[in-house]
């Protein structure tokens, strides 16, 4: 029987240590409670809607669901990676681990894969618990509600891996785990909420200050193009566009290129899953780059780091 590769040994060891320190149990409990909370929120929202408007409001509910899951995954993923390396250095356990026939690159890859498996299982638990609690609360789970998490699942995982890579980068950049965790909490808030809000407000105020009339479609479209260009550095922006392509058949680039007059047509499009991937391939590629770049920097820094 062949030996287990060192990378997988490190990953399994990381999961085992997370279980021993109850980190894994706490993480799973948070995702389980989040799934239950989301189910209760959905029940409350559906009960408040008039029956004749349920179909129209389903898109709004789905959008709120996807946004909530996005912020939730960003915070949890970056936190999981923020102490992956520096805690090992601070505790001195990394010296004992690397005294075995294990290279540094195998160590950091193993730690990343171990945390990635934790994120994957936790999100699956969230999705399953959400559907289960909906059934418990007496809400019939339609195919649309069920597919809200199933269709974009690979891209939620990819988005989570991006923020996990950010966390591992912080873990190699900041030697104190507490400092890395504090920055990790602030990073998704800054990237996913404060920065997009500030960018949108500044561009809108500048457009208003330029004296262009509110009915000037060209000026509005130009402002929207600037906003989307500046938001291209935000992982959540690309995830939103992927979800738009999957559920509604359009992305922000389609709106910018086609103009506001084509927005109504975009809203009524029903595309297949593979067609949606074709529409959103640029955003998928952007998330892959956002994953590889911080991890490559973290990898290079760790390979040269003084581990004393």
Residue 114 tokens, joined? 């171990």
Once rounded to an integer, what is the mean pLDDT over residues 167-188? 93
Contacts of 96 (CB under 8 A, 6+ apart): none
Residue 49 confidence class, pLDDT cut points 50, 70, 90? low
Q: Check whether 158 has a pLDDT greater than 60.
A: yes
**In contact, 167 and 84? CB cutoff 8 Å:** yes
Q: Is the dihedral of CA 204, 209, 214, 215 positive or negative?
A: negative
Q: Higher model confidence: residue 286 or residue 27?
A: 286
Per-residue pLDDT, 50: 47
* Stated pTM of the model: 0.86
Q: For the chain, how many residues are written?
A: 308
Distance CA 190, CA 184 (A): 10
Tens digit of each residue's pLDDT (9 = 90 or more) over 6-22: 888 888 888 888 777 77
Residue-wise burial string across 66-88, b where 16 or more C-beta atoms lie within 10 A, e elsewhere: beebbebbbbbbbbbbbbbbbbb
HSE, side-chain direction, 13 A CA sphere, residue 64: 11
Per-residue pLDDT at 28 exceeds 90: no
Residue ranges covered by each domain of the chain: 6-304
Sign of CA dihedral 67, 117, 113, 95: positive
pLDDT of residue 51: 46
Under the banding of pLDDT at 50, 70 and 90, the label for residue 183 is: very high
pLDDT value at 52 more than 90: no
Give dist(CA 127, CA 273) in Å, integer.
Answer: 20
Residue 255: predicted pLDDT: 65
pLDDT of 147 strictly over 80: no
pLDDT of residue 230: 87
The pLDDT score that the predictor gives to residue 213 is 57
């Amino acid at each position: 029987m062949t030996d287990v590769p060192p990378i997988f040994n490190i990953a399994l060891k990381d999961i085992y240590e997370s279980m021993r320190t109850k980190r894994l149990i706490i993480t799973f409990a948070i995702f389980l409670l989040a799934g239950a909370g989301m189910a209760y929120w959905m029940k409350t929202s559906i009960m408040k809607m008039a029956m004749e408007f349920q179909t129209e409001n389903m898109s709004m509910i789905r959008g709120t669901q996807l946004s909530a899951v996005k912020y939730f995954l960003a915070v949890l993923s970056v936190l999981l990676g923020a102490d992956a390396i520096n805690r090992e250095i601070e505790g001195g356990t990394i010296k004992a681990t690397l005294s075995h026939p294990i290279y540094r690159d195998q160590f950091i890859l193993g730690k990343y894969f171990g945390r990635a498996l934790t994120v994957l299982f936790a999100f699956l638990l969230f999705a399953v618990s959400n559907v289960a609690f909906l059934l418990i609360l007496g809400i019939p789970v339609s195919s649309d509600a069920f597919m809200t998490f199933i269709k974009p699942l690979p891209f939620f995982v990819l988005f989570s891996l991006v923020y996990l890579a950010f966390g591992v980068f912080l873990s190699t950049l900041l030697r104190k785990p507490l400092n890395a965790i504090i920055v990790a909490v602030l990073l998704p808030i800054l990237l996913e909420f404060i920065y997009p809000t500030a960018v949108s407000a500044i561009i809108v105020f500048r457009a208003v200050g330029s004296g262009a009339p509110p009915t000037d479609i060209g000026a509005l479209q130009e402002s929207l193009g600037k906003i989307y260009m500046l938001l291209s550095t935000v992982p959540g922006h690309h995830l939103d566009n992927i979800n738009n392509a999957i559920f509604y058949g359009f992305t922000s680039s389609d709106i910018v290129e086609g103009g506001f007059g084509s927005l109504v047509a975009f809203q009524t499009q029903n595309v297949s899953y593979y067609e949606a991937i074709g529409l959103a391939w640029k955003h998928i590629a952007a998330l892959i780059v956002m994953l590889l770049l911080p991890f490559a920097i973290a990898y290079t820094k760790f390979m040269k780091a003084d581990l004393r």
